[in-house]
């Protein structure tokens, strides 16, 4: 469904000496995402996740490389661009609502932008507000909504035109755990209904909970792609953790026996636990940055 080949984005950047330099935001990214897949882009701040989404959603053009959606190439051709845009829905990281419109009007504007007829858009707005449990605030301005409500509204807005592919850029950032889990449920429900989903996050447990496959990025480069389960088993299913001064250290082991044997060799107090995607992430992106 989505093919990304050698994607690269270079921005102009003002350096320390105030001279113009180039900053590579995404560097040679190649991956493909299948129909109906929930794909996670994981990485620390500045890894290039948002820039990747911006290129995929045509908010910014790649410096080089290729993006294909079901054979349509992202480029300068307006007809291709319009065909692709009809396929995709975007939940951006920032709450980019129209501040002057109400909840209902924001959704109506979006539906009109996707050329939906009056009856269809009225039905869809009602249906989606119910889906994200915001029917009661249809006539409120978006400024009056809480952070969690705004995030749910962003999801409703992105879904209004029945997109086949959904991009979610840090959809649960700065939300409390209850709201975050509610949004996870929504994402899982959308995936179960057949949408292809690409989600960026720096919450490891989020990727582990909802993604079929995960790509780990750092400094614009793709470090690895796999399923969360394979990542964990590949790098070791068990972790020994101990304190070294003020730092928390850890080491991954394939079996509990290996972990226990290492634990026995340590002078410091240590513990054994099952590894998770966070351990993998820190191992791949570098302990200093990850921690």
Q: Does residue 64 belong to the site contacting another protein (CB under 8 A)?
A: no
Query: What number of residues does the chain have?
Result: 291
Q: Which stretch binds another protein (CB under 8 A): 31-39, 93-101, 225-233, 261-269?
A: 93-101
Residue whose CB is less far from another protein, 106 or 201: 106
Using alpha carbons, select from 229, 217, 168 the residue that is nearest to residue 30: 217
Could you tell me where the DSSP H helices lie in the chain? 49-56, 78-87, 103-113, 118-131, 147-159, 177-192, 204-210, 228-235, 256-265, 277-285, 287-290
Q: Which stretch binds another protein (CB under 8 A): 34-42, 84-92, 231-239, 246-254?
A: 84-92
CB closer to another protein out of 119 and 267: 119
Tell me the C-alpha distance between 125 and 252, whole Å.
Answer: 49
In the set 41, 47, 90, 204, which binds another protein (CB under 8 A)? Answer: 90
Binding-site member from 15, 23, 113, 229 for another protein (CB under 8 A): 113
Kindly determine how many residues on this chain lie close enough to bind another protein according to the rule CB under 8 A. Answer: 28
What's the min distance (Å) between Cβ of 87 and another protein? 10
Confirm if 48 and 216 have CB atoms less than 8 A apart.
no
How many other CB atoms are found less than 10 A from the CB of residue 75?
Answer: 14
Least separation in angstroms between CB 78 and another protein: 8
Q: Cα–Cα distance between 49 and 22 in angstroms, integer?
A: 18
Cβ at position 163, least distance to another protein in Å: 11
Three-class DSSP category at 205: helix
Interface residues with another protein (CB under 8 A) are 57-61, 78, 81-83, 85-86, 88, 90, 92, 94, 96-101, 105, 109-110, 112-115
């Amino acid at each position: 469904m989505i093919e990304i080949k050698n994607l690269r984005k270079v921005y102009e950047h003002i350096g320390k000496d105030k001279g113009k330099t180039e900053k590579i935001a995404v560097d040679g990214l190649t991956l493909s995402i299948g129909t109906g897949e929930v794909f996670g882009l994981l990485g620390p701040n500045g890894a290039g996740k948002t820039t990747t989404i911006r290129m995929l959603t045509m908010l910014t053009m790649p410096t080089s490389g290729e993006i294909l959606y079901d054979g349509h190439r992202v480029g300068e051709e307006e007809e291709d661009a319009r065909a692709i845009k009809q396929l995709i829905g975007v939940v951006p990281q920032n709450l980019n609502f129209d501040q002057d419109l109400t909840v209902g009007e924001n959704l109506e504007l979006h539906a009109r932008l996707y050329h939906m007829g009056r009856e269809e858009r009225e039905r869809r707005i009602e249906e989606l507000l119910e889906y994200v449990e915001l029917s009661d605030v249809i006539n409120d301005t978006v400024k009056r909504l809480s952070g969690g409500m705004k995030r749910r509204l962003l999801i409703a807005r992105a879904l209004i035109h029945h997109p086949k592919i959904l991009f979610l850029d840090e959809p649960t950032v700065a939300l409390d755990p209850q709201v975050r889990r509610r949004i996870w449920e929504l994402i899982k429900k959308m995936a179960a209904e057949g949408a292809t989903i690409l989600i960026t996050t720096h919450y490891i447990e989020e990727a582990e909970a909802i993604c079929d496959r995960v790509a780990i990025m750092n400094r614009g480069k793709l470090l690895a792609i796999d399923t969360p389960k394979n990542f964990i088993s590949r790098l070791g299913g068990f972790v020994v953790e101990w304190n070294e001064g003020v730092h928390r250290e850890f080491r991954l082991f394939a079996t509990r026996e290996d972990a226990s044997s290492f634990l026995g060799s340590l002078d410091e107090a240590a513990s054994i636990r099952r590894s998770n995607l966070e351990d993998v992430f820190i191992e791949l992106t570098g302990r200093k940055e990850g921690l």
